[in-house]
Structure 1
């Protein structure tokens, strides 16, 4: 017998259809896409700051040195490559998952087309710090809309569920791996990479309660608390 749906104030673990049936789409859909666009903008700011990128973007920046595509296109391509890895993990994508795979990369390319690298170090530091903070806001907006995990986050949670290894250890292992591969490909790492790794989890955790939309979910639905890079 199906249990009565109830409003959940925290994050809920819903399937792709349940996400759309959970109500408040008038708020959740705009919040999802504002968050995804801002995520791409924050990536563009960090690129133009030229003081180091987020771990997955170290990989993307290395990839474009060998393949004739833009950074945003590399984000899109790698998103769908990661989604292929969801298949053996039996992760289910939602609207937010597919939107994430497309919107973040296009938004990053648009930002890079409009913004040049400043010469002044102070301006570059401001772009790096602003990019990290904006990324935290974007993550909280996107996650709080409760419309599906990002490709890379789903890979993390899928590996955690299948292996039993802690989320923190899985995330650390994935990020170390992509940074190493990115550096081998000629990617850009630096101070921004370290600051991002240290700050993004606490920033997202701080702001997530501000933007999490309470949704209608079955009474037996589990709640979760995800943080960090949610792409």
Structure 2
């Protein structure tokens, strides 16, 4: 079975199908935060931003989730010169990720054996790719870190890939200097999360009513251009039918 093509992922108004989209947003963000805690407990390397969170956690008395929220707010300040505007999804990203990651770290045991840690790492990366597809597909706008990258790309004219690479390498280096965990999990995350998100996204991307109506109209227009359906040709009788067999 072929996967459906995802609709555009531009931000939609908060009032469009909130009963359909809000649960998807909150579930996706909660799963994302929990996936971060899985990778942290694996102790085999985390994604670049989590490396920074871990490093700051070692140097302060703040929790992992509190640091992620504080940095999210600081990153929002960088949106101002980039002329980016936060959305409901941006604020939800900061709040839900902080609580869900701290909850996951409180529930998950520490100092596990290598097989269990490897399982946590693989599960965390898989869940992370799925959760990104879920909350991005709700179309409530970017999180603070994603908005920084898209805004910087627009302001500088550089590709999003280049900006993202530069930002994450900077964050990774700073986090490592502060004592964050870098390892095989960091590499696995970098290689796998993009393809995983792209794989899951077509099933979770919300298609707006306007987009669906436009697609139906285009389909109807194509049918009308094709003209009326042809009347099926009446089959000629065979020798058996002529004799009533």
Distance 2:173 2:7 in 1: 35
Higher-Rg structure is 2
Residue 71 (str. 1) matches residue 64 (str. 2): yes
Question: 2:234 — aligned with what?
Answer: none
Give, in angstroms, the shift of residue 11 of structure 1: 2.4
Question: 2:177 — aligned with what?
Answer: 184
Give, in angstroms, the shift of residue 118 of structure 1: 4.5
Give the gaps of 5 or more residues in structure 2. 1-5, 212-245
Q: 1:11 aligns with which of 3, 8, 11?
A: 8
Distance 2:175 2:32 in 1: 20
SS at match of 2:186: helix
Question: 1:214 — aligned with what?
Answer: 207
Residues 78-118 of structure 1: per-residue CA shift (max 9 Å, x gap): 11111111111111111110000111011000111111125
Distance 1:93 1:199 in 2: 28
Residue 199 (str. 1) matches residue 192 (str. 2): yes
Residues 217/93 of structure 1: CA separation in 2 closer, same or farther (3 Å cut) = farther
Question: Given the two structures, how large is their TM-score scaled by the length of structure 2?
Answer: 0.81
Q: 2:162 aligns with which of 156, 164, 169?
A: 169
Residue 53 (str. 1) matches residue 46 (str. 2): yes
Higher relative contact order (CA 8 A, sep 6+): 1
> Cα RMSD between the aligned structures?
1.7
SS at match of 2:112: coil
1:113-128 equivalent positions in 2, closer than 5 A: 113-128=106-121
Question: Given the two structures, how large is their TM-score scaled by the length of structure 1?
Answer: 0.86
Question: 2:152 — aligned with what?
Answer: 159
- Count of residues in Structure 1 that have an aligned counterpart in Structure 2: 208
Distance 1:118 1:65 in 2: 17
Distance 2:61 2:71 in 1: 14
User: Higher strand proportion, which one?
Assistant: 1
Runs of 4+ in 1 over 6 A off after TM superposition: none
Distance 2:135 2:9 in 1: 14
SS at match of 2:141: coil
